[in-house]
Amino acid sequence: MARGYHRKTVPFPDRTAVHHTPPSVEPRMVPCSKTVRFSAETDLFPFVVACHRLASWAESIQMEGMVVPNRQHLESRTSVVVVGAGAIGTVVADSISHTADVTLIRRATTAAMWIDHGSGAERVDARIASSPAAVDPVDWIVLTTKAQQVVSAREWLAALTGPQTRIAILQNGIDHAERVSEWVPPERVVPAIVFISAERTGPDIVTVRQLDELVLPDTAAAQDFARLFPEQFPVSLDPNFETQAWRKLIMNAALNSVTALTGRTVGVAKEPGGRELIATVLREGIDVARARGVRLTQDELTLMRRKIEKLPPTAPTSMQLDRAHGRALEYGYLTGAVLKEAAAVGVPTPTTLALHNLISAL
């Protein structure tokens, strides 16, 4: 599979260790100019690390083409902590690790995460933190837990939030800012709509199926967040973000519910029965959105169905995977959100309600 974006890879097995946990070695005086050059053949790795730690006047150290920025340089980069090292969190951590100093939160382990875009696994260049005591306030928190897990990330959010911290929320549903209102005001929140099909295929590895889109509102904070991504990453700013958020909500309410209930991948939506059921739930959601004043196109149903058609039939949805792994389900923020909004405007949504009730009975 072709990669969704390109990255510079460094042919050295332990580059993360160089960046983040240099082994302790005896420091020696070395002649450092702006850049220090070594040859790997002479096995100078520990020496390079010592230089890396001491030579604050060098901007970088080069060894056989590998460039190791010095600590001071690293420390001046934007600090980002990704809370939630699942599929989306790992994809984001990997892609922004080229411009930012990234930490991934993994509660149960300190093992690195790996990513496979279809051409083999690559180590994600991110520090791992597993205790809130080990982190300080950062420039950006990227929240990629499931919507219902924000509550269990409280300790992390408290430890990571400072007076300037901004939070990007890459989660399903609407009303993203409300979920973190305890920590930051709405202008420091960037909600994001994610169309990335990726899956944890092992305890430490994420396989990416399709990198489609990351949509942000067109705000100052979102522009700053977008700048962290490499140019080739499909991130866009949409002034009509509310419409995008509702589109995704309606699509998730239909697709994630049907796949979670049937235990089938997206292919179920392409069969006559599944297609009809999904179309009914989409129609109900569209009625609710219109009644709430959300700006949708005339042909919204076709647009949403096309989006679903474009998804690979073998791709699972997040709620289907959560059910398969016995995890808590996100339905409260999907069908639950549609039902809440429907109640506020008195729009009937019987099929959405039926799916919602079935899922809550699982």
Ligand X SMILES: CC(C)(CO)C(=O)C(=O)O
- Residue 255 C-beta: closest distance to ligand X, Å: 4
Q: Which of residues 157-186 bind ligand X (CB under 6 A)?
A: 172
Q: Are 260 and 322 in contact (CB under 8 A)?
A: yes
Q: Which of 80, 128, 169, 251 binds ligand X (CB under 6 A)?
A: 251
- Residue 308 C-beta: closest distance to ligand X, Å: 8
Q: Which of 16, 70, 197, 352 binds ligand X (CB under 6 A)?
A: 197
What's the CA gap between 338 and 356, in Å, rounded? Answer: 10
- Residue 90 C-beta: closest distance to ligand X, Å: 15
244 binds ligand X (CB under 6 A): no
Q: 8 an active-site residue? A: no
**Beta bridge mates, 192:** 170
Would you tell me the crossing angle of helices 241-262 and 335-345 to the nearest 10 degrees? 120
Decide whether 123 or 247 has the Cβ nearer to ligand X.
Answer: 247
- Residue 300 C-beta: closest distance to ligand X, Å: 16
Q: Which of 316, 303, 302 is nearest to 267 (CA)?
A: 316
Decide whether 138 or 319 has the Cβ nearer to ligand X.
Answer: 319
From the list 144-152, 223-231, 250-258, 267-275, the region that binds ligand X by CB under 6 A is 250-258
- Residue 105 C-beta: closest distance to ligand X, Å: 20
256 binds ligand X (CB under 6 A): yes
- Could you tell me which residues come within 8 angstroms of residue 294 by beta carbon, excluding any fewer than 6 positions away? 242, 243, 246
What's the CA gap between 334 and 317, in Å, rounded? Answer: 13
Q: CA gyration radius for the chain?
A: 23
Decide whether 161 or 318 has the Cβ nearer to ligand X.
Answer: 318
195 binds ligand X (CB under 6 A): yes
Q: Which of 165, 317, 335, 351 binds ligand X (CB under 6 A)?
A: 317
What's the CA gap between 125 and 72, in Å, rounded? Answer: 17
Decide whether 318 or 352 has the Cβ nearer to ligand X.
Answer: 318
8, 248, 270, 310: the catalytic one is: 248
Which residues are tagged catalytic? 248
Footprint on this chain of ligand X (rule: CB under 6 A): 172, 195, 197, 251-252, 255-256, 317-318
